Chains A and B, each alone.
Chain A
Amino acid sequence: MAGLELRRTGGLSADSLFRRITGTGLLVLGVALVGLIVAFVGYSNPLWAIQSPIDFLTSATWSTGTIDENGQVVDALYGALGALFGTAATSLIAVLFAAPIGILAAIYLVEFAPPRVSAPLTFIVELIAAIPSVVFGLWAAGDLSNRLRDTIEWWIASSFGRFIPFLSEDPESPAADSVFRAGFLLAIMILPMVVAVSREFIRSVPISLREGYIGMGATKWEVIRDVILPTARIGLIGGVLLALGRAIGETVAVTMVIGNAEGVPSSLFQPGQTVASKIASNIAEASGEIAIGSMAALGLSLFLLTTMISLAVRVLIRRFAFTGGRA
């Protein structure tokens, strides 16, 4: 659509003025993006002056240090391993639950449900995405968390906890908060996204492919297993990745149920923290450029993670557009 500009008149015509005004809008977005990168790199710089990024990534000790007689901060160490572990654990748990259920639900909506069931059901699933995360957090803290503790968490701990210490929990006194429950809550929150994206890609599989296989005598499920899932595979992976990105950045709801405990928890059923929840619970007290630098470093790691995911999804989806599906 670049062909709109048919004539170039000299000077600042109304057309080129309009072009510039609208172009400024895009420029603002670019400036914001560059500004984000510059600010996070710049403000995290004071931290790298006292410790290396490797310490930041590999140490589980988060200590603001003490102030010696000269008024200098000593023994400060900002290790984000605990938070990084929590982010990885909660978002992987979320994907573990949300991906299969979301994709199967999308299959139901596209392939099995009659239109008068499919439309309202799709609508309801999309509504879940509209609920503010603080409401999810309040619900989880007040109700869901305890239910999970007494059902799924108890079941996993009692069946696998004996062999795998990482999945163990004291049945007499289960922890008030846990990494697992935060991850499960995230699964609910990202589910609509998995369903919405999967639905789009499953729908885009050409009808002729389905008909060809049905004509060979395949059952509906065989069509799904052998035609639809392989064809839509890249799109489905892209959708799950997008949802993973959402889970990584989710803050308030997670902060309300994860317990905000320092370090790497000994079990998934113990309290922990994520990068986002650490920022949320520590930033109010951060003072001095090193402490603020530690917040910028946490923000930077979240930004880099989600940016990598966004770019990966972009590449994947582009590949999907090339290799098929949308014929």
Chain B
Amino acid sequence: MSMQTGTIAKLLTQPTAGERARQRVNWTMRILVGVAAFLAILPLIALIAFVLLQSAPFLVPSFFFNNPLDTSPGILNAIVGSLQLTGLTVLISGPIGIAGGVYLSEFASPRVVAIGETAIDVMLGVPSIVAGVFAYLILVPVLGFSGWAAVVALSILTLPIMMRSTQEVLRLVPQAIREASLALGVPVWKTALFVSVRTALPGILTGVILAFSRALGETAPLLMTARGTNAENWLDFSTTMNAIYQYSAAADDLLIGQAWATALVLMAIALTINVLVRGRTVNSRTA
């Protein structure tokens, strides 16, 4: 009798061979997914470490304040050019994108929303080089190679980003506060602007900043637009930090070193923007 109870207890507590196999698979997979997660972050570590090592000797103050042809060469003109180009892009596509997002969220009929969202999806998927070729086809014959064509190309890329993020954050604004405002007799446009947009403003600005960061890092559209701007252009932003592209095949060690240092600056700006923005809104789904 007691032996039987012992056997039953043993059967209950001791896993069968099948169960052990299932547990083994479970643990193997647990390790495997952990390894996959580690592999996913490995490139970032390797990349940052390598760029830091390569560029450290070139990161002297004069690098940031001198131009490439000075005796101790720097990238001041490229930094200024990048900021001008990106700033102008955001100035142009920002208001348009936000306006479109407001329309989609506040006014559009379901049919228009469906069409508009499809258009945004398609535009979000347009590769940056395609936007560049577009600007090259329609603007370069008129303007010549110029930063303005680059602004148009970059605006095409940032416009859907801002429209999507604006629409998404406006969607999160509770309908009740819109209704409260309308019930008080506030006109529709004031309600949209000072209630809906005002409430969603931090989220909208996050979208703008992420679009800025995207435009800052784009190189492909610049290859066929900004390159070779004529000097008479009043704003010379033909040179940006992305011009390091040309240095990668350079035989000159100094040029290559500068390319690494420029890459570090570019990466540092992009990462800082993202850390600041995403740190605030951890679960942002705008990108």
Interface residues of A, Cβ cutoff 8 Å to B:
1-2, 4-6, 14-15, 17-19, 21-30, 32-33, 35-36, 39-40, 43, 100-102, 104-105, 107-109, 111-113, 119, 121, 123-139, 141-144, 188, 191-192, 195-196, 200, 219-222, 224, 242, 245, 248-252, 256, 276, 279-280, 283-284, 292, 295-296, 298-299, 302-303, 306-307, 309-311, 313-314
Does B47 belong to the interface (CB within 8 Å)? yes
What 1/0 flags go to B28-41 for Cβ under 8 Å of A?
A: 01101110110111
Of the listed stretches B70-78, B182-190, B198-206, B229-237, name the one at the interface; the rest are far from the partner chain. B182-190
Instruction: Give the distance in Å from the alpha carbon of A307 to the alpha carbon of B175 in the complex.
Output: 34
Do A251 and B220 have beta carbons less than 8 Å apart? yes
Please, which residues of chain B bring their CB within 8 A of the CB of A138?
51, 244, 248, 259-260, 263
What 1/0 flags go to B41-60 for Cβ under 8 Å of A?
A: 10110110011001000000
| Across the A-B interface, the 4 shortest Cβ-Cβ residue pairs | A249-B127, A132-B217, A25-B99, A25-B100
Count of CB-CB pairs between chains A and B under 8 Å: 305
Do A2 and B108 have beta carbons less than 8 Å apart? yes
Instruction: Give the distance in Å from the alpha carbon of A296 to the alpha carbon of B138 in the complex.
Output: 11
Do A222 and B160 have beta carbons less than 8 Å apart? no
User: In angstroms, how far is the closest chain B Cβ from the Cβ of A181?
Assistant: 14
Instruction: Give the distance in Å from the alpha carbon of A125 to the alpha carbon of B156 in the complex.
Output: 26
Does B274 belong to the interface (CB within 8 Å)? yes
Instruction: Give the distance in Å from the alpha carbon of A85 to the alpha carbon of B105 in the complex.
Output: 42
Do A307 and B137 have beta carbons less than 8 Å apart? no
Do A22 and B129 have beta carbons less than 8 Å apart? no
Do B107 and A134 have beta carbons less than 8 Å apart? no
Do A29 and B123 have beta carbons less than 8 Å apart? yes
Apart from A36-B126, A251-B128, A256-B248, what are 6 other A-B pairs with CB-CB below 8 Å? A18-B189, A102-B36, A124-B44, A221-B25, A251-B129, A251-B223
Q: List 8 A-B contacts (CB under 8 A).
A: A1-B106, A14-B187, A18-B192, A23-B108, A111-B33, A119-B282, A196-B287, A292-B137
Given A127-B275, A134-B245, also A221-B191 (CB < 8 A): no
Instruction: Give the distance in Å from the alpha carbon of A142 to the alpha carbon of B114 in the complex.
Output: 46
Instruction: Give the distance in Å from the alpha carbon of A195 to the alpha carbon of B47 in the complex.
Output: 19
Does B176 belong to the interface (CB within 8 Å)? no
Does B271 belong to the interface (CB within 8 Å)? yes
Instruction: Give the distance in Å from the alpha carbon of A123 to the alpha carbon of B156 in the complex.
Output: 28
Please, which residues of chain B bring their CB within 8 A of the CB of A142?
50, 54, 248, 256, 260
Do B103 and A23 have beta carbons less than 8 Å apart? yes
Q: How large is the interface on B (under 10, 10 to 19, 20 to 34, 35 or more residues)?
A: 35 or more
Do A19 and B122 have beta carbons less than 8 Å apart? no
Chain A, Cβ-Cβ closest to B118: A314
Given A132-B218, A283-B133, A309-B125, also A2-B22 (CB < 8 A): no
Please, which residues of chain A bring their CB within 8 A of the CB of B279?
123
Do B270 and A299 have beta carbons less than 8 Å apart? no
Among B220, B256, B273, contact of A252 (Cβ-Cβ < 8 Å): B220
Given A19-B189, A134-B217, also A219-B137 (CB < 8 A): no
Does B26 belong to the interface (CB within 8 Å)? yes
Do A137 and B245 have beta carbons less than 8 Å apart? yes
Instruction: Give the distance in Å from the alpha carbon of A136 to the alpha carbon of B51 in the complex.
Output: 10
Please, which residues of chain B bring their CB within 8 A of the CB of A192?
40
Please, which residues of chain B bring their CB within 8 A of the CB of A113?
37
Do A30 and B245 have beta carbons less than 8 Å apart? no
Given A25-B99, A35-B134, also A139-B159 (CB < 8 A): no
Does B98 belong to the interface (CB within 8 Å)? yes
User: Which residue among A5, A22, A109, A245 has the maximum number of chain B CB atoms within 10 Å of its CB?
Assistant: A22
Among A125, A280, A310, contact of B124 (Cβ-Cβ < 8 Å): A310
Instruction: Give the distance in Å from the alpha carbon of A292 to the alpha carbon of B259 in the complex.
Output: 31
Please, which residues of chain A bring their CB within 8 A of the CB of B274?
126-127, 130
Do B43 and A128 have beta carbons less than 8 Å apart? yes
Does B136 belong to the interface (CB within 8 Å)? yes
Chain B, Cβ-Cβ closest to A107: B33
Among B29, B124, B163, contact of A221 (Cβ-Cβ < 8 Å): B29
What 1/0 flags go to B210-234 for Cβ under 8 Å of A?
A: 0001001111100110010000000
